[in-house]
Structure 1
């Protein structure tokens, strides 16, 4: 009977992974389709595009923390995930019909971005914590593998979306996106294990929100992580705001070669996503992996403002400064999920994750605005230096906290043996 149960659980876990891959791949296709359709088909300008970006960022920024409280209350997470997939499929189907009828507007795309932002909040809060309902024993390793498949699916979707859009057009792309979400919902509905998990005792929303803040505050590692993500998020937004001007104007990279670093980053993210579960499965602690990759990603990013020389050398440096941080970042994200799962458990996972995500999103927006100011007044190379050095400083501080925890754990083990 045990073998039969184990076989069923393994089958469910595979089906669950396929559902996650399908919906993540669909998200990547949708993101590219929306952007390209807005600019290339509907003639949207910077203002309209910024509204679409803001629409997708508003739900995690505004709803995230309190959504985390509600999601930690969900005792049947699979049903919520299925509903989220179906809502996303319906919203994209509206755009597909509008594109076929040639009545698609930028306003419709903004509405789609807002809807997908809301469903994305639900998915982010439940997908990893839902693993406990599948009878998974080694939750950390399974989370790492699930995250790696998600990163790989996102990278693949981002890589093929452009060529597919060129070949098929917006209406067909939206239709394909609908199918990925419906397929995901079908896979989730086909799971055989009971859809139920233990939840924390319910109180008022404000009280449960405060509990999530307390868990985050009382953990030295999570507090340091929150500070690192705030500074790192601001640095990421600041560099992104100045990157195009730096590459095209200061470095003089041709427009035809501008997308090459992005391709390198996509490939390196896929390699990192594949490598991370193997590293963790080899017995290397998630804390150690996180410590090394945080420092490595921040250190490699220093190469970007150092870019100089002729076109071939400059392009090589830019690719390295983009691909290497992305490679280490993919591994870091998977180790981070593992560390969070160990430190907070399933009952607080959505709340803490939402708090961290909201803070990072807000910091990213602030960093982008600050990057524009610094680049305008001091030059983009100097502006980028400010952000990459701030990111390195935060990475060193966070790695130091992880190192101290590892030293304390080692000391306790030695004392126990003695």
Structure 2
């Protein structure tokens, strides 16, 4: 069976295999990080597998305001949430009904039905003609405003370009002069926060990883101050600057977890990094919970635990673990999985061939011989999935057949 964990980090998603965790003695006291200067994963172990993907970076750009020519005519007839739009739609529906009535009269009584047909056609045509007139008015107004709009877009694009250059310059010049230049470009920028903020966040993350590679964890307090100063100069909100520090910390921690190199000495270093960045345990609660789950897997490496399960067990079947779910409870035995939800689902252990944990969603996806994968959400998905992996590897055959 294959068991791996997925996690979204600062520069993209990662996926790594989770086998039996190394003992603390095997990990040793080597506090070298598994994170490179560009925020990439650096493998220090020879076994296991790791996949990482870097998200495609698109520079900040000014959104193009749609014109009436880009809107199909029939889309303009759809209700736009106003009473006028619903009135037009009702009038057209009424016109169709009158036309059908007129056709019926025409077929049964003759020319008398033409009145209803013409009246119904007029009811349908009126909203179309009024919509066409409205589109013509909008088109004429856009033509009058086009020159002014294009001039504003050119000016905004130029300001955004200078701001982006000042951001990139901060990667090579983090002195006070670089911060002053960036702050000046930010003050002259007259664009929505959502347009340029992602680029500023990414530059801050790059600075954080480069500085960590240069200063080490001992300089985490200086890195934190630099990020705060650079984020303020770039115009980011305090909340976003704080989230950059959380993403940075999370990437460093998860790279160690993926490399299975988080022992006692490494945890002490990670704590120094967290405190240096000014992050509390509550700020990184999910990450620390993941550490506890991996530590729990190391604790059961020598033997699976036993638990009490309120389900009927077969001969030589014993309960290993029960985990609360969002919609029920999961029971793990040495022979099967039982998801006791609205609909009870049972999966035999030998039929399970893949278990995937989405650490961001706290979910487990179990693939087996069933048509649809079983998706479960629980508080401790990493530990629970690890027990499934260990239970699936048990050899329950009689000794004479082993």
Q: Give the TM-score normalised by the residue count of structure 2.
A: 0.23
Greater fraction of residues in helix: 1
Q: Give the TM-score normalised by the residue count of structure 1.
A: 0.22
Q: Which of 1 and 2 has higher RCO (CA within 8 Å, sep 6+)?
A: 1
Greater fraction of residues in strand: 2
Answer with 1 or 2: which has the greater Rg: 2
